[in-house]
Amino acid sequence: MITMRITVIGAANIDITAKSKSKIVPGRSNPADVKLTAGGTARNIASMLARQRVEVTLITAIGNDPLGTLLRDSCNDLGINTDAWIIKDNMSTGVYLSTHENNGDMSAAFIAMTVPESIRTGEITKHKALIKDADLLILDLNLTEKILAAALEARGDRLVMVDAVSVEKVKRIENLLPQVDFLKLNRLQAERLTGITLDTKERVKQASNSIVGRGVGRVFITLGIAGACAADKKKSIFVPTQPVPVKDTRGAGNAFSTGVALYIGSDLRTQAEQGVALAAEHMKRLEGLTRK
């Protein structure tokens, strides 16, 4: 059993996935298998940590609606502390809707995720004890820069990790980088943050060193089948991944972040290797992300 206490702040939402039973015909009704599951970057990481027997608290915002109730119940089932959840009476719980061809390729995705951005500073600072008492604070960039700053101020001297979430939102952490101990990005997010095209290993190394040079303790850039690059003030390294039979890639980045979080006391290489290993294992099994 891993004796850690981790507080995660960010998005929790409902994922609706429709996979066509045959090739999609535009403009027609296509028979499909539809799944409704719990999702969201912060929620996914919290659920994976809970499955590792970590004592985890999730702080998020949901609407006062049936989807929010379903989402909260799924987290309670996993043993995640939801006492600090923020209920918004005038908003709807976030939804991520994706449609897929019969071979699994995504044809379109739609997202309605305004509720995390409605969180106010006071709604975070009132839970300062949950933040300061944790061994690690994890933030996702579905939060506004103002709320990110408030959470970072509340954490005191506790370690903090940030998951960049998306290319569109990665700039939200740009002015707060010196306060981040561990930053996880994918290739496109790192390109957006640094302005460097990561088409060679040398440029990946250049980008990682640039981010560390802006104050981040350790940076981890995931590179798909090429593994990951990790860097701190002393060095940058590349960690390969082994080929695995991939069942689904959804949540693989969240699994990588979970691996990094579980090994915050380890050296740079071990942290990166554990992130890569957990992401690969997740793609094989696709467990820990959804509630059946």
Whole-structure pTM value: 0.91
Where do the structural domains in the chain lie, given as residue ranges?
164-292
Element (H, E) at 162: strand 159-163
Q: Is the pLDDT score of 141 beyond 50?
A: yes
User: What's the burial of 2, exposed, middle or buried (CB within 10 Å: 0-12/13-18/19+)?
Assistant: exposed
Residue 206 has pLDDT above 60, yes or no: yes
- Average pLDDT (75-84) is 96
Phi, psi of 267 (to 5 degrees): -75, 170
Among the residue ranges 26-40, 95-109, 211-225, the one predicted with the least confidence is: 95-109
Average pLDDT over all residues of the chain? 92
Residue 290's pLDDT band, with cuts at 50, 70 and 90, is: very low
Give the confidence band of 251 by pLDDT, cuts at 50, 70, 90.
Answer: confident
Q: Which CATH class is domain 164-292?
A: alpha beta
Nearest C-alpha neighbor of 222 from the set 290, 287, 282: 282
Q: Does 274 score more than 90 pLDDT?
A: yes
Q: How far is CA 120 from CA 145, 147, 267, in A?
A: 11, 7, 36
Question: Residues near 50 by Cβ (< 8 Å), separated by ≥ 6?
Answer: 56, 78, 79, 80
pLDDT of 160-186, one tens digit each?
999 999 999 999 999 999 999 999 999
Q: What is the dihedral of CA 28, 33, 39, 44, to 10 degrees?
A: -140
CA 280 to CA 282: how far, in whole Å?
5
Q: Tell me how long the chain is.
A: 292
